[in-house]
Structures are given as structure tokens and as C-alpha cells.
Amino acid sequence: MKKVTAFVGTARKQHTYYAVRRFLDGLKSLGDVEYEIVGLTDYRVDLCRGCKNCFRKGEEFCPLKDDRDVLIEKMITSDGVVFATPNYSYQVSGLMKVFLDRLGFVFHRPRFFGKTFTSIVAQGIYGGSKIVKYLDFVGMGLGFNVVKGSCTTALDPMSEKEREKIDSIVAGHSKRFRAGLFQPQYPVPSLFKLFGFRAARTSMRVMLDETSRDFTYYRDKGWFEADYFYPTHLGLLKKATGGLVDSITASMTSNREC
Ligand SMILES: Cc1cc2nc3c(=O)[nH]c(=O)nc-3n(C[C@H](O)[C@H](O)[C@H](O)COP(=O)(O)O)c2cc1C
């Protein structure tokens, strides 16, 4: 049984919720999936103050006492995660953005490997596909395996034609996500992801020290010596490219003071 949790960033139970429910019911109807919908309005998610304690010292030093860890625990105990938001002013809703900022330290210290992520955006007219791209990038930064998200369009009230189109988009998305959910959890990374890992870990190794939480996190995970975030088999090209990225990053970061 796979558990899927959808985090929904809207105060209104309308079009975003409609798409999310259709998506999740589609997943469940094929069996072996259970789901939970987490409305972010039902939780306390405070505005990040920008102190960067989480980056430098660790997330437990955050001065905010909100439901951040409850929400993160829901991600940890899920196999699949969905971030869903309306398009507000060509971006995610403020509520969703405040939630993403609370996860800021996870971009430094990614952790959701082996889990599948996707995004759902509901809009009135235009701009949502860029938000899907943004959220999918966020999912990758958090460590998830990402299945391309979807954007649905409807005005108020939703017409029958709009509903049919949304149902069709969401049904296809749900099938794609299901396939991702049941695929091998630890795929060989793309060159792009490998590049990101090697550049990040080498610059941290050269520029930071034991006083930094990012450094100790990477060190304790064995990431300074690893091929990638998780055990994987790199072919010759990727091995060579990874080594090259390590060398170039090391030389660029150690020359920074000159
Ligand atoms: C503050 C605000 C800003 C919005 N900005 C956009 C926008 O830039 N582009 C767009 O297509 N729709 C925009 N909309 C429309 C919503 O995306 C649309 O109504 C969506 O269905 C809302 O989701 P909901 O039904 O789940 O609340 C905006 C709505 C609000 C309230």
C-alpha cells in the first residue's frame, strides 16, 4: 500500500480541491493507494523571519513554533507527495509560498529520496504552466523523484466543458503519477542532477567547516565521498563528468579569496 499526501495551499474548497480530489480518487481507484489531503489553512504556518539559524545551526534552532515539523513528518511517512495551489498573480498562493519558505533548509539538506512528487495548479486564465515548472523544480530540490505536474483552467462557475477538460487532464496526470509511484525508487541520476550534487557537496566541503550544519549533515551522510545522494551505479560518462565537476568546483571555490 502506498500513501500519498496532498498539501493544498488555498482557503477556498473550489477548483484546486476539485482537481486534487479527482487526481487522488483516480489513483486510489486502481488499488494499493491510500491518501490524505492536508489543507494548509488547517495548520499553523508562520512567516519565515530570515534569521538563517536553520541553515547555519540546524532547523531545531528556528525561533518559530508552528506546525512545520508536523507537516514535514507527513511527508516523511508518505510515498508520494503533491503540492497543489491556485495561480495567484502568476505564482503560487501566498499560503503555499510561506509553507515552501518553512522548508528552506531542506533545499540545503535534501532528504525525500525514493519518494514521488508532483504538482497541481488551478488557474482562471493564464500563467499556471510556469508555476507547475517552479513547483516541480522545488520538488526536485527537496530530493523527490518528480513526475511532471498539471495545470487546470476554469472560471467561476466552472462550465461543463471546462469540467470535462479538467477531468481529462487530471486523469492523465494521475496515471503518470501512479506509474512513477510504483517505479524503482532510486533511479540513476540524470547528468543535471549529478552535476548539482557534485557542485553542492564539493563547494560545501571546501568552503564550510564543522561549525556549519550543512557541512556536518553532508559529512555524516558520507556525501563528501559518495557518487550521489544514494547508492547508484554510474556509467563511465557520468563517473567522468562527476569527477570533472568535483575538480572544477574545488578549484573555483578554493580560489574565491584570491
Ligand atoms: C489574488 C488572486 C490572484 C489571481 N491571479 C491569477 C493569475 O495571475 N492568473 C490566473 O489565471 N488566475 C488568477 N487568479 C484566479 C485563480 O487562479 C482561480 O480562480 C483559481 O481557480 C482559484 O483556485 P481555487 O478555486 O482553488 O480557489 C487569481 C485569483 C486571486 C484570488
Which tens digits make up the pLDDT trace of 33-89?
999 999 999 999 999 999 999 999 999 999 999 999 999 999 999 999 999 999 999
Model pTM?
A: 0.97
The type of residue at 147 is V
Q: Which residues are within 8 A (CB) of 123 and not within 5 positions of it... i.e. 6 or more apart?
A: 86, 87, 131, 151, 152, 153
pLDDT at 50: 98
pLDDT at 256: 63
Q: Rounded to the nearest 10 degrees, how much is the dihedral formed by the CA atoms of 50, 51, 54, 59?
A: -90
- Cis previous bond, 63, omega within 30: no
Reported as a pLDDT band with limits 50, 70 and 90, residue 225 is: very high
How buried is 243 (Cβ within 10 angstroms: 0-12 exposed, 13-18 middle, 19+ buried)? exposed
pLDDT at 257: 53
pLDDT at 258: 46
* Backbone φ and ψ of 12, nearest 5°: -105, 130
Count of CB atoms situated within 10 Å of the CB of 57: 14
Ligand 1 atom nearest 156 alpha carbon: 19
pLDDT at 254: 81
Mean pLDDT value of segment 9-22:
97
Mean pLDDT value of segment 125-141:
98
Question: What's the mean pLDDT when you consider all of the chain?
Answer: 97
* Cα 123 to averaged position of ligand 1 atoms, centre (Å): 5
* Cα 76 to averaged position of ligand 1 atoms, centre (Å): 30
Q: pLDDT above 90 covers what percent of the chain? A: 97
Pocket of ligand 1 from Cβ distances under 6 Å: 10, 12, 14-16, 86-90, 122-127
Determine the Cα–Cα distance for residues 202 and 225; give it in Å rounded to an integer: 10
Considering only residues 171 and 184, tell me which one the structure prediction assigns the higher pLDDT.
Answer: 171
pLDDT at 124: 98
pLDDT at 227: 97
Determine the Cα–Cα distance for residues 101 and 165; give it in Å rounded to an integer: 33
In this model, does residue 155 exceed pLDDT 60?
yes
* Cα 88 to averaged position of ligand 1 atoms, centre (Å): 5
How buried is 42 (Cβ within 10 angstroms: 0-12 exposed, 13-18 middle, 19+ buried)? exposed
* Cα 118 to averaged position of ligand 1 atoms, centre (Å): 20
Q: Are 84 and 135 in contact (CB under 8 A)?
A: no
Mean pLDDT value of segment 150-156:
97
Q: Which residues are within 8 A (CB) of 32 and not within 5 positions of it... i.e. 6 or more apart?
A: 1, 2
pLDDT at 156: 95
* Cα 140 to averaged position of ligand 1 atoms, centre (Å): 25
Ligand 1 pocket test, candidate residues 37, 88, 96, most atoms within 8 A of CB: 88
Q: Rounded to the nearest 10 degrees, how much is the dihedral formed by the CA atoms of 85, 87, 16, 105?
A: 0
Determine the Cα–Cα distance for residues 153 and 128; give it in Å rounded to an integer: 9
Question: Angle, to 10 degrees, between the axis of helix 68-76 and the axis of helix 94-102?
Answer: 80
